[in-house]
Chain A
Amino acid sequence: MSDPSPPRPARPLPPVAIVIGVLFFFGLLGLMLYGVMKSGDPQRDVLPSALIGRPAPAFALPVLHEPQMIVRSEELRGAPYLLNVWGSWCAACRQEHPVLTRFAESKRLRVVGYNWKDERADALHWLEQLGNPFMVVLSDPEGRTAIDWGVTAAPETFLVDGSGVVRWKYSGAMTQQVVDTQLLPALAKVEQAAAAADTTAASR
């Protein structure tokens, strides 16, 4: 006990080590909080679309109601449109339907349906039962064109501007909040850009 030197002389930690340790601790804490907050977000697994800012893929698809009629991507140019990917087998699409119908009824935009990997009879029945909010419904029973659009699961919704460039995309069922806080601002931006292009074209 009277030994003057302790067995392990306690060397004080250098301040740098303390600072690094504290930063590490708060870093981990932050990461954990971020993970916990993100875990409730239904959009947490959604991948950013590779198409945003790029021309929408060219397509030629039959119309669901009149299969002998073919709609081409060029024919939709000139004004923005909303493309909604759905299927009668998709439960979330049914959930989204009233929101989409309300938006379509506001007549802000052409709403084009994209019936993906569906049976024609089922799709027609679905529209008859729930109502048809679409200007036209394209049908892609094989799902090959959907690969060009980068579709992973229904429902997905694309906003395409008048020059045929994809400006916005939402994966999953849109809610009224998504329409109000994301779709409408994105649409306003598209319309502003189109108006600006018009005025420069007119002044030239």
Chain B
Amino acid sequence: MGLPCHRWLLVALLAVMATLALPATVQAQAAQPLHDARPLVFQDPAEEARFHALAAQLRCVQCQNQSLADSNAQIAQDLRREVLLLMQQGYDDARIKSFLVDRYGQFVLYQPPLQPGTWLLWGGPVLFLLAGAVLVAAIVRRRSRGVAAQPTAARAPTADAGDDW
């Protein structure tokens, strides 16, 4: 008689789990009204590939460290749908990007364009590289000057001690 008892326990447990899970799903639905659960329909694999490549270059405007492709925010779903619609209307990638930039600002682009506001962003690494090169050049020049000057005059008496390091 032990087996049916276990089975009843299992049924009861499942029932409890189901009642716990039910409000969660209802809440999730309420939080996202008109949630269109259907995935986007692509006409062919080429379009799908282009869509995914484009969406990966666009940033989700709400959850700001995710791309449009990764994000599950409501607005990201809407924007994905819009991007696909624009693609199907014959917009090229550049026009789709400018469509979004017009509405949401430069922020939607993961790769910002080179313009007066972003030259420091793009040129910064080059500046640091140049600064490092100048620093290295200065150090090398000072050392070589020191080595050249020392044997002739100042370093002559303590030549042995100086060789230690």
Chain A residues proximal to chain B, CB less than 8 Å: 3-5, 7-8, 45, 47-51, 87-89, 117-119, 122, 141-144, 146-153
- Closest chain-A Cβ to B51's Cβ sits at a distance in Å of 17
Contacts of A3 in B (CB 8 A): 161
A117 to B75, CA, bound (A): 10
In the complex formed, the residue of B with least CB distance to A123 is: B33
Tell me if A49 and B78 are in contact (CB < 8 A).
no
Q: Known contacts A3-B161, A50-B101, A147-B103; decide if A87 and B33 are in contact (CB<8 Å).
A: yes
Tell me if B75 and A89 are in contact (CB < 8 A).
no
Residue B102 lies at the interface, judged by CB distance under 8 Å to chain A: yes
Residue B55 lies at the interface, judged by CB distance under 8 Å to chain A: no
Tell me if A50 and B102 are in contact (CB < 8 A).
yes
Tell me if B34 and A119 are in contact (CB < 8 A).
yes
Q: Known contacts A7-B165, A49-B105, A89-B31; decide if A147 and B62 are in contact (CB<8 Å).
A: no
In the complex formed, the residue of B with least CB distance to A150 is: B103
- Closest chain-A Cβ to B137's Cβ sits at a distance in Å of 15
The 10 closest A-B pairs by CB, nearest first: A50-B105, A5-B161, A150-B103, A152-B61, A152-B62, A143-B78, A150-B104, A47-B107, A89-B33, A152-B75
In the complex formed, the residue of A with least CB distance to B99 is: A147
Residue B32 lies at the interface, judged by CB distance under 8 Å to chain A: yes
Contact of A89 among B30, B82, B102 (CB under 8 A): B30
Contacts of A152 in B (CB 8 A): 61-62, 75, 104
CB contacts between A and B, total, < 8 Å: 63
A-B contact pairs, 5 of them (CB 8 A): A50-B105, A88-B33, A143-B74, A152-B62, A153-B75
Chain B residues proximal to chain A, CB less than 8 Å: 30-34, 61-62, 64, 74-75, 78-79, 82, 101-105, 107, 158, 161-162, 164-165
- Closest chain-A Cβ to B26's Cβ sits at a distance in Å of 13
Kindly name the residue among A48, A88, A147 whose own CB sees the greatest number of chain B CB atoms within 10 A.
A147
A17 to B32, CA, bound (A): 57
Q: Known contacts A3-B161, A4-B158, A142-B34; decide if A149 and B62 are in contact (CB<8 Å).
A: no
Q: Known contacts A143-B78, A152-B75; decide if A7 and B103 are in contact (CB<8 Å).
A: no
A186 to B82, CA, bound (A): 32
A144 to B86, CA, bound (A): 12
Tell me if A117 and B34 are in contact (CB < 8 A).
yes
Tell me if B158 and A5 are in contact (CB < 8 A).
yes
- Closest chain-B Cβ to A134's Cβ sits at a distance in Å of 19
Q: Known contacts A150-B104, A151-B75; decide if A5 and B162 are in contact (CB<8 Å).
A: yes
Q: Known contacts A7-B164, A147-B79; decide if A50 and B103 are in contact (CB<8 Å).
A: yes
Contacts of B101 in A (CB 8 A): 50
In the complex formed, the residue of A with least CB distance to B146 is: A11
In the complex formed, the residue of B with least CB distance to A51 is: B103
A27 to B32, CA, bound (A): 44
- Closest chain-A Cβ to B149's Cβ sits at a distance in Å of 14
